[in-house]
Chains A and B, each alone.
Chain A
């Protein structure tokens, strides 16, 4: 049975995890014969290329990124500029929601609207969704949400959707603990479809991620400083760019690691980068359902990671296909790396196992799960 599916995100094709996920899901749905539309609230700041002739329609609701709301309650009602700003903003929002309503009305009754981020939900809530099923999503761990303004906004805007999807059972359970009872979960699919495995012959540990506080590369450098004296000849290759690049390179020099750390910049060829490595390391402070370890495991590269989110322990099975350290425990992460670097057989065993195990998140099995969910919501 084919359906009408409308994905509504902050943008159609913004560079980053959610953007990549959104497009790959749209393609997967289209491959199953569903009629897919991807709607973005705002134009992307840093767009990525959708390729030629994507198998789905796209629509962006606003010509420019809508401004943040200003407070106009209490005494601020006297601030005429703010009041005017708010009135204009609300009018534009209603108009944008009207464009979304038009799209939704053109779908067959019983279409599925998937709202990928809570900000976009503010527009969906204003639009006419009658006759359709609305699924809300939060692409981050419960703890990350709780530490941000999104916590309150998820509670407010996702209260009345038909189903709210988190990334893991554990995150879903914690939202249920907040009194939400319409909650389920859905993992991200692996981005790479059966790539060639890494031969695991290069004496290289690889890290792939934005160079920002969240990804914890500072902790990775401290870890590496503990590891490398025992493993001369091994290199740490760090892919990615970001705001902390300067500071991290300085830290690297201060730790005397310039000889064993390679700053490889952002890469388009993730599979290639993984094939030139034997161990993948994830040093993040927080994650949702990270794509990089999924990719590494698809390439048969074992992961060493901080167990910083349910998504991470869902992907990596400690002692089976990778090793997990307590969050922020640099010494433990170093011990795990030490173990893997000292033992080629262990790397091989875990790497092969990882390639097996990660199949449960293959595009096919995740799309099947989505279709089962659509069925459930119809019963």
Chain B
């Protein structure tokens, strides 16, 4: 010690002291110390603080100290059992101007100290914090996961933690940080002893004490973790419940400090995070624990949560909120399914109930006003979805295994009776290897019965005979159940809960892998981290066990590495074959070698999303005339709703590419894939999908700024158009110029999709498609129909803002429900959620593929900046413009004309104004007063729309009708 003391007299002060704590970890300690000594910042010292290890840790530390004059070792006189005391001791002897903490099983990123120091000196911060990277040391591919990366996206300096409460609330580690040592001492910042979660308290106090904090996005700390692939034992789970007491105690201490500092807002953030995060850690264990533990947990939680203000529950997801509520109510029956949803987002785990037009999690607690708020899950929009789009909870109720296989039984939840009592039911079980794989095996389910709020099922699964894994490569098998309800399929996972999976350590079900029984010989049930049943291949016999050891041992050998590399290569090749680039190359070979097929027309509408719009109108005209063309329709997702008399090809499938390569005509309204060239023999008719108010194409800011190469690519794609359909002079000076489309390509026919609108105006008779639509949607025909059709709003930096009503839709239904019907049709990039309470009065028409019948049905249109205004004007019916965000919208995009000036109807800015106009629809001074302007608007923006667009296009490209 005295020698060290002498040295420190002569040497400069280290920039940073890194306190490395160790307890019985002699094997890894040298790595940790080396990661400090090899820092790019050389002026650092290491203080190893040994928590009185019983192995050789301190000896190792002393050896390290002897071999470098930058390392010192200290030892606690007795074991403290935590991380706090050794760190306190380390800080006490540290000499550096700054201090960092490192655990013996982790390492520092090589530039960590330099980056921390630079930040600290530049900003003068007391505390610098960087990104911590969790390294999964047991993962085959060296997986890493950043720790709360959203806090560390950019460098920022805070003058108070109140500027970023999430930092205190989420990043509670003490190790990814650099502290000014004098400041630590002056503020008396030390770790508490004798309690778990000491980091939480220490970092909270440090954040609060710092007069400046700097965050840097650099990775500074490698936290080596072993991912728990094995199921937790019951004792493990109980142990965690016991830790809950410590966690609560730490939180209470932090709360007291926050209260003393007057940081109420921070407290609120912390409460929210507790509900969202800390509580969930324990809730997820509850389904597996017995009632005693549940009760103890509830008592503790209750004592703490009681102090939370109601605002703490705001901004929480409905599921988090109702879980916390059910804990306080000790309602295990409803909590357990809720926890399932907590672990598996989007899973519907409760049968739900409908009351007074709202949807609730359960029938109970609705007499309690708080319960009524918390349990209201209407906004999750579960009441509209068909069974195929619901992810239903499937609780395992019975499990029995034998050498031949397993017998399973379970119950699938039936929310709001989505499965009708008389539905045809069928089910099968699927076993699939977890690693992106390879194979799956299916087994029938013996019986499926409707039991009201649940669908009960039973199955005997002959795994020994029916499941043939490869072995080694496919260790884990997940189980799914596919339930078919009247031909509609939904896929479920089996939630194990407290059902006894028996089986013992090695399992009893026999299995025979392709790699022979040497690889594995038994299947053992286990529960995944999401609570689902899975099976693990295990070695039971002596021989398989020995092989497994051998394999593990040799996984790092050269032949194994080669094999792994080959496997990775094969997976990459498969990916590559399916990739866009490969397909694009192949397509371009096709257009060189394959002949054109005369009479083939490939149709597409909105990138394959629907059978509709002008391509549909042209298709129907060709059919009506009996033109002997071969129609091919492209679809995206599901082919439902596409015509039976056409050939259907999935967008981007090999057949799609082949049809495009050989087609005589391409007809679409938006754009076939940009990167596919068009051969000169193919004629491309671009119908487009609406006249423009907002700036489009090369007039739009987002396209003006793209790099030159991308711009050329886009121009080349647009140059593929041979004909571009326009509705009037306005299109010619806006769209055609924005896309740089030359004069001779313009097809001045008007939109085929609008023929029906012109005809309806001229005949004045009710239209059949509109009446069919009314019947389909259940629209009352004794009331006028108002259509609300807003366009989408872009988010800054791309993306689409999700749709919310700019007025209270329930209030609308209350005020106007008996006078008119509101149809809502959002832009196809948006979707809408309606509460059941407005049923029959406000109706979603967003699922209709074709908008024309919707327009025909509507007596009044309410829109904002949507191009639907141009089409609807053809009907010469009243329009109202609800432009509540005019400045924001027009500023962001720019428009071709001033809507407020030219609108052929009232322009309203608030919901109240809108309601005012709607309540006076018959008033001659209302929308009806715009008759003359409406006519002017129609001719100014669509003079070519004369009702014969489809016919003229058919005449021109497929021969006049009378020739046939």
Binding site for B on A (CB under 8 A): 147, 162, 169-170, 172-173, 176-177, 179, 181-184, 213-214, 216, 219, 285-286, 306, 308, 326-332, 376, 379
B219 touches A (CB below 8 Å): yes
Known: A173-B155, A176-B218, A184-B118. A219 touches B704 (CB 8 A): yes
B886 touches A (CB below 8 Å): no
CB proximity of B709 to chain A, nearest CB, Å = 8
Known: A173-B217, A177-B217, A379-B42. A327 touches B705 (CB 8 A): yes
The closest CB in chain A to the CB of B220 belongs to: A181
Q: What is the number of contacts between chain A and chain B, taking CB atoms within 8 Å?
A: 70
CB-based contact B40/A169 at 8 Å? no
Known: A173-B153, A285-B707, A379-B43. A332 touches B115 (CB 8 A): no
CB-based contact A182/B702 at 8 Å? no
Contacts A181-B115, A216-B705, A306-B705 given; 10 further ones with Cβ under 8 A? A147-B709, A147-B710, A170-B154, A173-B153, A173-B217, A176-B218, A177-B217, A181-B109, A285-B706, A326-B892
The closest CB in chain A to the CB of B216 belongs to: A176
Against A, the Cβ 8 Å flags (1 = close, 0 = not) of B98-138 are 00000000000111101101100000000000000000000
CB proximity of A142 to chain B, nearest CB, Å = 12
The closest CB in chain B to the CB of A308 belongs to: B705
Instruction: Give the chain B neighbours of A182 by CB distance below 8 A.
Output: 40, 111
B15 touches A (CB below 8 Å): yes
Known: A286-B707, A329-B701, A376-B118. A181 touches B153 (CB 8 A): no
Known: A147-B707, A329-B894, A379-B41. A181 touches B701 (CB 8 A): no
Which B215-254 residues sit within 8 Å CB-CB of chain A?
216-219
CB-based contact A285/B155 at 8 Å? no
CB proximity of A311 to chain B, nearest CB, Å = 15
B891 touches A (CB below 8 Å): yes
CB proximity of A193 to chain B, nearest CB, Å = 26
A329 to B700, CA, bound (A): 8
A182 to B109, CA, bound (A): 10
B356 touches A (CB below 8 Å): no
B292 touches A (CB below 8 Å): no
B708 touches A (CB below 8 Å): yes
CB-based contact A169/B155 at 8 Å? yes
A326 to B796, CA, bound (A): 10
Against A, the Cβ 8 Å flags (1 = close, 0 = not) of B800-832 are 000000000000000000000000000000000
The closest CB in chain A to the CB of B894 belongs to: A331
Instruction: Give the chain A neighbours of B891 by CB distance below 8 A.
Output: 331-332
CB proximity of B15 to chain A, nearest CB, Å = 6
Sample 6 A-B pairs with CB under 8 A, ordered by A number.
A173-B217, A214-B708, A285-B706, A306-B705, A330-B894, A331-B894
CB proximity of B608 to chain A, nearest CB, Å = 29
A172 to B154, CA, bound (A): 9
CB proximity of B115 to chain A, nearest CB, Å = 7
CB proximity of B692 to chain A, nearest CB, Å = 15
Instruction: Give the chain B neighbours of A173 by CB distance below 8 A.
Output: 153-155, 217
Instruction: Give the chain B neighbours of A286 by CB distance below 8 A.
Output: 707
CB proximity of B799 to chain A, nearest CB, Å = 16
A330 to B111, CA, bound (A): 43
CB-based contact A162/B218 at 8 Å? no
CB-based contact B701/A327 at 8 Å? yes
CB-based contact A328/B704 at 8 Å? yes
CB proximity of A69 to chain B, nearest CB, Å = 21
CB proximity of A143 to chain B, nearest CB, Å = 9
Which B887-921 residues sit within 8 Å CB-CB of chain A?
891-892, 894
CB proximity of A242 to chain B, nearest CB, Å = 13
CB-based contact A181/B219 at 8 Å? yes
Instruction: Give the chain B neighbours of A329 by CB distance below 8 A.
Output: 701, 892, 894
The closest CB in chain A to the CB of B710 belongs to: A147
A170 to B111, CA, bound (A): 19
Instruction: Give the chain A neighbours of B711 by CB distance below 8 A.
Output: 213
CB-based contact B701/A326 at 8 Å? yes
Which B729-779 residues sit within 8 Å CB-CB of chain A?
none
CB proximity of A190 to chain B, nearest CB, Å = 21
CB-based contact B217/A176 at 8 Å? yes
The closest CB in chain B to the CB of A226 belongs to: B894
CB-based contact B153/A177 at 8 Å? yes
Which B671-724 residues sit within 8 Å CB-CB of chain A?
700-711
Closest CB pairs A-B (n = 6): A328-B701, A328-B704, A328-B705, A181-B111, A329-B701, A331-B894
CB proximity of B156 to chain A, nearest CB, Å = 9
Of the candidates B109, B117, B155, B892, the one whose C-beta lies within 8 Å of that of A376 is B117
Which B34-58 residues sit within 8 Å CB-CB of chain A?
40-43
CB proximity of B388 to chain A, nearest CB, Å = 39
CB-based contact A330/B704 at 8 Å? yes
Instruction: Give the chain B neighbours of A214 by CB distance below 8 A.
Output: 708
Instruction: Give the chain B neighbours of A170 by CB distance below 8 A.
Output: 154
CB-based contact A379/B109 at 8 Å? no
A12 to B223, CA, bound (A): 46
Which B861-896 residues sit within 8 Å CB-CB of chain A?
891-892, 894
A332 to B154, CA, bound (A): 28
Known: A285-B705, A330-B701. A181 touches B218 (CB 8 A): yes
CB proximity of B145 to chain A, nearest CB, Å = 14
A111 to B701, CA, bound (A): 47
With a 10 A CB-CB cut-off, give which of B109, B701, B710 has the most chain A CB atoms: B701
A332 to B705, CA, bound (A): 14
Instruction: Give the chain A neighbours of B894 by CB distance below 8 A.
Output: 329-331
The closest CB in chain B to the CB of A184 belongs to: B118
A183 to B115, CA, bound (A): 9
A326 to B892, CA, bound (A): 9
Instruction: Give the chain A neighbours of B705 by CB distance below 8 A.
Output: 216, 285, 306, 308, 327-328
The closest CB in chain B to the CB of A376 belongs to: B118
A199 to B310, CA, bound (A): 61
Instruction: Give the chain B neighbours of A147 by CB distance below 8 A.
Output: 707, 709-710
The closest CB in chain A to the CB of B15 belongs to: A379
Instruction: Give the chain A neighbours of B217 by CB distance below 8 A.
Output: 173, 176-177
Which B403-444 residues sit within 8 Å CB-CB of chain A?
none
A331 to B892, CA, bound (A): 9
The closest CB in chain B to the CB of A182 belongs to: B111
Instruction: Give the chain B neighbours of A219 by CB distance below 8 A.
Output: 704
CB proximity of B622 to chain A, nearest CB, Å = 41
The closest CB in chain B to the CB of A180 belongs to: B218
A327 to B41, CA, bound (A): 40
Instruction: Give the chain A neighbours of B701 by CB distance below 8 A.
Output: 326-330
Instruction: Give the chain B neighbours of A216 by CB distance below 8 A.
Output: 704-705
A125 to B42, CA, bound (A): 23
CB-based contact B704/A376 at 8 Å? no
Instruction: Give the chain B neighbours of A176 by CB distance below 8 A.
Output: 216-218
A285 to B153, CA, bound (A): 25
CB proximity of B12 to chain A, nearest CB, Å = 10
The closest CB in chain A to the CB of B796 belongs to: A326
CB proximity of A184 to chain B, nearest CB, Å = 7
A26 to B170, CA, bound (A): 47
CB-based contact B42/A181 at 8 Å? no
A145 to B12, CA, bound (A): 42
Which B437-492 residues sit within 8 Å CB-CB of chain A?
none
A330 to B738, CA, bound (A): 14
A308 to B706, CA, bound (A): 11
Instruction: Give the chain A neighbours of B43 by CB distance below 8 A.
Output: 379
CB proximity of A61 to chain B, nearest CB, Å = 28
A115 to B15, CA, bound (A): 28
Against A, the Cβ 8 Å flags (1 = close, 0 = not) of B1-45 are 000000000000001000000000000000000000000111100
A169 to B702, CA, bound (A): 25
CB proximity of B708 to chain A, nearest CB, Å = 5
Against A, the Cβ 8 Å flags (1 = close, 0 = not) of B138-159 are 0000000000000001110000
A176 to B156, CA, bound (A): 14
A176 to B43, CA, bound (A): 24
Instruction: Give the chain B neighbours of A308 by CB distance below 8 A.
Output: 705
The closest CB in chain A to the CB of B702 belongs to: A328
Instruction: Give the chain B neighbours of A285 by CB distance below 8 A.
Output: 704-707
A308 to B711, CA, bound (A): 17
